[in-house]
């Protein structure tokens, strides 16, 4: 679902290095409201680093990050660069909920408590309202009957769906997914993909780092192929997957299809 409003998230000229290793070498992209943007590429291409820069889990040495049209304010430069407004960082992370590859659920809490925790502690919302919404979200992702169990009692696919419910509980303006299915076997992977497809149909704004080309093709409005820290090619999934222009993208698609 394309939108003509200002981007929820916009990246301009982003550079990120770890010591002498330059991981991102000047990245530009935007996710408008309702867009699903998938980031694809081989291991080491910079996909996850780019995603983590989006909500400031990693700090880029150069470039701009804009959320709802407002640029992150910085102090310092190069390796010493840091966000200068802690309140702005908190607001961004609240509105850009991240779903990690390894679920990151709190093992000592039930699934319901996991989903409720951030709205209660960060947003200071009413407990009854939060619990009601959490139960509805767990039902939405297909595990409404698992409210009172602990993460260790769930399959990997169920844990990842719980993590998605937890991210949705913050009522974010966008969802960031970092390889949400790569730790799952194929059957459990499909459970999570169905949830992500449903969110795309709802018009949720999402940025997804994925190794799953079928999911990227089916749910995305825009696909970005990263290679050696640069955008090698980007566009509508039908164009990228059926008629790739760059030799490197053709090689990559052939390798993942093999």
| Measured distance CA(176)–CA(28) in Å, rounded | 17
CATH 3.40.50.300 is right for the domain spanning 9-257: yes
CB-based burial of residue 73 (10 Å sphere; 0-12 exposed, 13-18 middle, 19+ buried)?
exposed
Q: Domain-by-domain residue ranges, the chain?
A: 9-257
- For residue 1, the model assigns a pLDDT of 43
What Å distances lie between residue 173 and 4, 180, 209, CA to CA? 16, 19, 18
- For residue 6, the model assigns a pLDDT of 81
Which phi and psi (to 5°) does residue 177 adopt? Answer: -115, 125
pTM: 0.94
DSSP the chain: ----SPPSEEEEEEEEEETTEEEEEEEEEEE-TT-EEEEE-STTSSHHHHHHHHTTSS--SEEEEEETTEEPPEES-GGG-EES-HHHHHHHHHHEEEE-TT----TTS-HHHHHHHHHHHTS---HHHHHHHHHHHHHHTT-GGGTTS-GGGS-HHHHHHHHHHHHHTT--SEEEEESTTTTS-HHHHHHHHHHHHHHHHHT--EEEE-S-HHHHHHH-SEEEEEETTEEEEEE-HHHHHHS--SHHHHHHHHHHH-
Per-residue pLDDT of the chain (258 residues; tens, 9 = 90+): 444 578 999 999 999 999 999 999 999 999 999 999 999 999 999 999 999 999 999 999 999 999 999 999 999 999 999 999 999 999 999 999 999 988 899 999 999 999 999 999 999 999 999 999 999 999 999 999 999 999 999 999 999 999 999 999 999 999 999 999 988 888 889 999 999 999 999 999 999 999 999 999 999 999 999 999 999 999 999 999 999 999 999 999 999 876
| Measured distance CA(9)–CA(28) in Å, rounded | 11
């Amino acid at each position: 679902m394309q939108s003509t409003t200002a981007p929820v998230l916009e990246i301009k000229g982003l550079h990120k290095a770890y010591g002498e290793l330059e991981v991102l070498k000047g990245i530009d992209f935007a996710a408008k409201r309702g867009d699903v943007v998938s980031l694809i590429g081989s291991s080491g291409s910079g996909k996850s680093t780019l995603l983590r820069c989006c909500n400031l889990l990693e700090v880029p040495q150069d470039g701009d990050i804009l959320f709802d049209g407002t640029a992150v304010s910085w102090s310092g430069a190069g390796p010493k660069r840091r966000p200068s407004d802690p309140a702005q960082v908190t607001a961004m992370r609240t509105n850009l909920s991240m779903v990690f590859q390894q679920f990151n659920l709190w093992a000592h809490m039930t699934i319901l408590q996991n989903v409720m925790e951030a709205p209660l502690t960060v947003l200071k919302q009413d407990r009854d309202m939060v619990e009601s919404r959490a139960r509805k979200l767990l039902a939405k992702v297909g595990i409404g009957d698992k409210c009172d169990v602990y993460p260790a009692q769930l399959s990997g696919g169920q844990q990842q769906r719980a993590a998605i419910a937890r991210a949705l509980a913050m009522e974010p303006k966008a969802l960031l997914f970092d390889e949400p299915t790569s730790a799952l076997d194929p059957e459990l992977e499909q459970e999570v993909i169905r949830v992500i497809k449903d969110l795309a149909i709802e018009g949720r704004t999402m940025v997804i780092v994925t190794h799953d080309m079928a999911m990227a093709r089916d749910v995305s409005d825009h696909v970005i192929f990263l290679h050696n820290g640069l955008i090698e090619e980007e566009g509508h999934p039908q164009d990228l997957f059926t008629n790739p222009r760059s030799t490197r993208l053709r090689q990559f698609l052939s390798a993942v299809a093999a």
